[in-house]
Amino acid sequence: MRLFAYARVSTRQQSLDIQIKALKSEGVKDTRIFTDKMTGSHAARDGLQLSTAQGRRGRCCSG
């Protein structure tokens, strides 16, 4: 199974490291983890759009 995942933090001062480590421990490859560093109120999030595009192609998403 090909896993794709999305991780986000609200500010650039926060770190994605813990989320990414958890996703990798579940078998998600580095190249399949999409990320954003911005508040959830921003609708245009590149990482989220890329990860959901993968999901629409019938792939499994985790987040």
**Residues annotated as catalytic (active site), given as ranges:** 10
Say what the pLDDT of residue 22 is: 94
Is residue 6's pLDDT more than 60?
A: yes
Q: Which amino acid is at 6?
A: Y
Q: What is the dihedral of CA 39, 42, 44, 49, to 10 degrees?
A: 50
Domain count, the chain: 1
Q: Indicate the pTM of the whole model.
A: 0.69
42-47, long-range: CB within 8 Å, 24+ apart, which pairs? 45/8, 47/6, 47/7, 47/8
Task: Tell me the CATH number at 15.
Answer: 3.40.50.1390
- What is the spatial order of strands in the sheet that 3-9 belongs to? 33-37, 3-9, 60-62
* 19-51 pLDDT per residue, tens: 999 999 999 999 889 888 877 676 677 777 777
Length of the chain: 63
Domain that holds residue 43: 3-62
pLDDT attached to residue 42 = 63
Selected residue with higher pLDDT from 58 and 10 = 10
